[in-house]
Amino acid sequence: MSATVTAGVRFPSAFLRPCRAAQISRKYRLTTVRAASDGALEVCVKASITVPDRLGDCPFTQRVLLTLEEKYLPYEMKFVDLSNKPDWFLKINPEGKVPLIKLEEKWIADSDIITQALEEKYPEPPLATPFEKASVGSKIFSTFIGFLKSKDPSDGTGQALLSELTSFNDYLKDNGPFINGDKISAADLSLAPKLYHMEIALGHYKNWSVPESLSYLTNYMKTIFSRESFVKTRALHEDVIAGWRPKVMA
């Protein structure tokens, strides 16, 4: 699902496709786009530290953007330099964290709260993951960070990550291709950006990659990483590498 950018607003291409299919007049299409632009959701995101005016390397922000893309909601990104936070940003969000979205004239922080609010306000298409499946794969991110930061090859952090990945691979074998079966859901949109960071950061700093034997996991990653919504909202490799450098060097 690609998006059209008009006056700084992103429109998932599926939003405009019905106009093209019906061959509606150009005047009507422009009116439709303008009306949608007026309702575009404002999202504060981390700015790239390597390329001007590009999305940065926050997996929690990507989770929110993926949700917007998968729900075909137009949105406008406001890039925030987190190393030099502007006054306008701190005024609306004193904690200075991203992502941040404006819903019903209120600024909301925290990707968990934001995605839940989006699901409630825009229930179609549904992305909610059943409660019993919502925590599948939830320990992968913390074990990845532990392994990335580790300076001791024998401390067990690498094995801990492999154990979590193997468990997730086995789950996908029995329940996949996605966490909730045949359809992508909120749990996938939360986990996939973290797996993307894991793949890049560990490949760069540890010369490590997911074992080929975990074929259900590798297929899962390839499938989601090639999805149009993911390609549109992913960070540059250079930003991911730079973003994790402080933790590696600490």
Q: Which residues are catalytic?
A: 58
The side-by-side arrangement of strands in the sheet containing 75-80 is: 3-6, 9-12, 75-80, 41-46, 100-103, 106-109
Backbone φ, ψ for residue 6 (5° rounding): -130, 120
CA–CA–CA angle 188, 45, 127 (5° rounding): 25
For the chain, give the longest Cα–Cα distance: 66
